[in-house]
Amino acid sequence: MPKLTDFLPDPFGKDIYRLNAKKAREDAHLRRPHAARQAATHFIASVPFANRKCIAVYYPAGTELHTWPLVEELQTEGKTVCLPVVANTNKPLIFRAYTPEMPLEKGPYGIMAPAATAPVCHPDLLIVPLLAFRRDGGRLGMGGGYYDRTLQQLRRERNVLAVGYAYADQEMEKFPVDRHDQPLDWIVTEREAIKVR
């Protein structure tokens, strides 16, 4: 049965959910030191990535689940790994190749990104950072709309797989999902790999 609150406008929008999600992620970051390796293992075992050539990861910021154990595995598998670059505010992200010897520089929001000398890549699978996820593929991000714009653009062009990557405790039962929010295809945590659709 739908609840009355399902039809009422949410007075706080997404911000109150972002606050709660940040706290949950901070706690998980402290309590789960092995999570990044465990999540990488679930990704390799469950997500169908064999036919994907170029995989976008993120450079972990703050208390985000680290991606380095996964990057090592992907590079061992012969995949091209790339990182997001904020080229323009309020525009889709672009991606540049990442190898261990490649220079990184501090980009907007203080996040490290490949320098302009690194080749531009067109990922066919994206590891997506998030503050909170829902089991139905809903994603709450930092609020810039970067991944929504990027996935909308990439999905128009070709088949891409969006894989949310997070601590299991970042799961939330509900938060507002807008029409422009791009759903996740898979969610990988230290506990499991969830196929959404």
Ligand X SMILES: Nc1nc2c(c(=O)[nH]1)N(C=O)[C@@H](CNc1ccc(C(=O)N[C@@H](CCC(=O)O)C(=O)O)cc1)CN2
Ligand Y SMILES: Nc1ncnc2c1ncn2[C@@H]1O[C@H](COP(=O)(O)OP(=O)(O)OP(=O)(O)O)[C@@H](O)[C@H]1O
Part of the chain binding ligand X (CB under 6 A), chosen from 30-38, 118-126, 139-147, 170-178: 139-147
Q: Find, among 138, 193, 126, the residue nearest to 163 by Cα.
A: 126
How far is residue 100 from each of residues 5, 17, 36, 123, 167, measured CA to CA in Å? 49, 36, 18, 18, 25
Residue choice 142, 161, 193, 196 for contact with ligand X (CB under 6 A) = 142
Closest-CA residue to 38 (of 167, 172, 162, 196): 167
> CB under 5 to 8 A by kind: which of ligand Y, ligand X, none does 181 bind?
ligand Y
Q: Is 61 in the site for ligand X (CB under 6 A)?
A: yes
Q: Say whether residue 59 binds ligand X (CB under 6 A).
A: yes
Q: Which of 46, 187, 68, 194 is nearest to 130 (CA)?
A: 187
In the chain, alpha helices (H): 15-31, 35-46, 68-76, 146-157
81 forms beta bridges with 55
- Which parts of 124-183 interact with ligand Y (CB under 6 A)? 140-149, 152, 178, 180-181
84 is an interface residue for ligand X by CB under 6 A: yes
The answer to whether 62 is a known ligand-binding residue is: no
CB of 148 to ligand X, least distance (A): 9
Report the amino acid identity of residue 51: N
Q: Choose which of 93, 126, 140, 151 interacts with ligand X (CB under 6 A).
A: 93
CA dist 83 and 112 (Å) reads: 9
Judged by beta carbon distances under 5 to 8 A according to partner kind, the member of ligand Y, ligand X, none in contact with residue 124 is none
User: Is 107 annotated for ligand binding?
Assistant: no
Residues that bind ligand Y (CB under 6 A): 14, 140-149, 152, 178, 180-181
Q: Which residues are annotated as a binding site for ATP?
A: 139-147
